[in-house]
Amino acid sequence: MERILEGTNVEKNNILDAPFVKEMVEVTSNLYRLGWDERNGGNITYLLDEEEVANYLDINNVLRNIPMDFDGTPLKGKYFIVTGSGKYFKNVVTDPAMNLGVIRVAADGQSVDLLWGYTDGGVPTSELPAHLMSHIARLEVDPENRVVMHCHASHLLAMTFSHELTSKAITRTLWEMCTECLVVFPEGVQVLPWLIPGSNEIGEATAEKMKESRLILWSYHGIYGAGKTMDETFGLIETAEKAAEIYTYVCAQGGIRQTISDENFKALAEQFGVKPNPEFF
């Protein structure tokens, strides 16, 4: 059961002016505009520094404590701004306070403290455990990782129905569709079979793959992306989705007849100083 906690009242800057709130408003609007997050079909978690939160909120004033079915102890004390469960991305721009929340993983690791948002009594996305598992995994690889983003990018989703469904095959096709892809995601894309969304099983499987790649394709469902910034994470998914769109056009035009070679890819990697996953050659 949620419990109401009391704190102190300290006057702060308007949180609606906070850069992290503005970023969430902008990116959720773009995801909805592009058709990648219909209805409530997506979620974002954004790791924040205590100092930046404290500029806008009294961090001692906990509005509610919300249990979660996951042990988030490795992240206790960490702050996040998170999209809400059942919230439509199209509505974030008109009412950020109802559709977003700023939370802190509580000391018990089994719950989160709500510091702002979810004004209608809402809670964080049902996929919060999957996100937090991915944050834990990515922070082990890259301490600067701050964003985990899930959406239903249309062409990537479509590929899981028609394309050979392995990480190597999907990655190779995406790399071949746009020259920039190998530069943007040299580690490739990891592919998961269909699993029940919102479950700890899919969260654990995603987190394990996050140790290898920042892009995880959920078969027949959507994609997970991770990055240091909101722009980087959005751009990562955007680049892969553009390649999947080109692949759709190529298939409609009769299929692939010529493409970038391994030698081309190696020269490209050398030019831009990236190290492609050798398993995908």
- What's the alpha-carbon Rg for the chain, to the nearest Å? 20
pLDDT at 1 > cutoff 50: no
Q: What is the CATH number of the domain that holds 209?
A: 3.40.225.10
Q: Is 174 found in the same domain as 69?
A: no
Q: Is residue 59 situated within a structural domain?
A: yes
Q: Is the pLDDT of residue 100 over 70?
A: yes
Annotated binding site for Zn(2+): 150, 152, 221
Is the pTM higher than 0.85? The answer reads yes
Cβ neighbours of residue 248 closer than 8 Å, sequence gap 6 or more:
155, 158
Q: What is the pLDDT of residue 200?
A: 87
Q: For residues 114 and 186, state if they share a domain.
A: no
**Based on the structure, what is the number of domains in the chain?**
2
Residues 162 and 264 reside in one and the same domain: yes
162 φ/ψ angles, rounded to the nearest 5 degrees = -120, -15
**What is the residue range of 39's domain?**
15-126
Q: Is residue 131 part of a domain?
A: no
Q: Are residues 102 and 46 in the same domain?
A: yes
Judgement on whether residues 31 and 71 belong to the same structural domain of the protein:
yes
User: Residue 101 carries which side chain, given as an amino acid letter?
Assistant: G
Residue 226 domain-assigned (yes or no): yes
pLDDT for residue 11: 61
Together in a domain, 122 and 69 = yes
Last residue of a domain, one of 126, 143, 175: 126
Instruction: Give 43's Cβ-side CA count (13 Å radius).
Output: 20
Q: Which residues carry out catalysis? A: 127
pLDDT cut 70: percent of the chain above it: 96
| Residue list, annotated binding site | 150, 152, 221
Question: How many distinct helices (H) and strands (E) make up the chain?
Answer: 10, 9
119 Ramachandran zone, left/alpha/beta (phi>0; psi -120 to 50): alpha
38 has a pLDDT exceeding 50: yes
Q: Are residues 265 and 159 in the same domain?
A: yes
| pLDDT of amino acid 224 | 97
Q: In this structure, what DSSP letter does residue 84 have?
A: B
Per-residue pLDDT tens over the stretch 195-239: 998 888 999 999 999 999 999 999 999 999 999 999 999 999 999
144 falls within a domain: no
User: In the chain, what percentage of residues exceed pLDDT 90?
Assistant: 92
* Overall average pLDDT of the 123-143 stretch: 95
pLDDT-based confidence at residue 4 (cuts at 50, 70, 90):
very low
Q: Is 235 inside any structural domain?
A: yes
Does position 8 have pLDDT exceeding 60, yes or no? no
Task: Supply the mean pLDDT for the chain.
Answer: 94
pLDDT, greater one: 5 or 249: 249
Instruction: Look at residue 136 and tell me if it is in a domain.
Output: no
Is the domain of 97 the same as that of 174? no
Residue 3 has pLDDT above 50, yes or no: no
